[in-house]
Structure 1
């Protein structure tokens, strides 16, 4: 068993996998993410997305941002479960984001991609409970999509750093 563990430990560096956040706060990915400014995003979903992105990006320490992250959101709710009397019993809330990482100095688009996620919402007899469930779903979706965006930008930053 010990030989197998030793063999795997020796083979792992040869597989090409490297830690994304190698070097911690002083590593190339953390430094790159700290240089991103999130552009304003319209609407309630935009407010939630902006906050979620800012929570995930390291603080730049007051330095001028080298990059600008522009995000356009598409937030939709579609009724899925319908009873005989045309009452909706289940909804799907979808949040899709098209985002661009832009070089602030030149205006060049460095990364243009999309991210998104869906959530199911039960429609119950209480309108208040349904609205609360839709809002909770939006908050959760904003967090999930923000994770996807920051991860994709981190991978781009790692590759751009030449590692």
Structure 2
């Protein structure tokens, strides 16, 4: 009975259609495509952080001839959330949104036009230095999170493109 159940489970798993995105390691189409994405400079401190996170995620950035360009526009904002009776702010929300396009350099066609974003809550304390440090750390964390989301979407786009080309 156990053998029959095991066999049925194996058959069910093989028919689910799941396939590893990075099958083949560094030689996989997706890995090669990610390594061929260049990211131009993005204005501002948040832009610098997002570009560095993207370059780290793409791994082989600058090691191959670029085939794609990822154009990114950021919107970074701070909002006051908690206002006390004496009109001081007790809580802030930092929001980082990115609008990005993946462009194939050979044809100039836009392969992906999407947005990614995240936000973080910040406690405003009596120390101005501590509040500024918290705001900066929130921006660093948000830049990594937004870059992760962008890379995932780019990888899915490149994978779908490779599957369609087979």
TM-score by length of 2: 0.93
Distance (whole Å) between structure 2 residues aligned to residue 129 and residue 6 of structure 1: 59
Partner of 1:123: 124
1:61 shift after superposition: 6.3
Distance in 2, Cα, partners of 1:133 & 1:8: 49
Offset at residue 121 of structure 1 (A): 0.4
Paired position in structure 2 for 1:39: 40
Q: TM-score, normalised by structure 1?
A: 0.94
Aligned equivalent of 2:74: 73
CA pair 76-5 structure 1, distance change in 2 beyond 3 A: farther
CA distances 1:91-118 after superposition (whole Å, capped 9, x unpaired): 0000000000011122211110000001
> What's the CA shift for 1:62?
3.1
In structure 2, what is the equivalent of residue 160 of structure 1? 161
The correspondence of residues 17-96 of structure 1 with structure 2, limited to 5 A, is 17-59=18-60, 62-96=63-97
Distance 1:126 1:61 in 2: 42
Contact 2:73/2:98, CA 8 A, preserved across alignment: yes
Gaps spanning 5+ residues in structure 2: where?
A: none
| Most deviating of 31-40 and 10-19 | 10-19
> What's the C-alpha RMSD, in Å, of the aligned pairs?
1.5
After superposition, give the CA deviation of every residue in 1:69-101 in whole Å (9 maximum; x if it has no partner). 100000000000110111110000000000000
Unaligned runs of 5+ in 1: none
Hey, what does 1:133 align to over in structure 2? Answer: 134
Q: Is the 8 A contact 2:55 2:61 kept in 1?
A: no
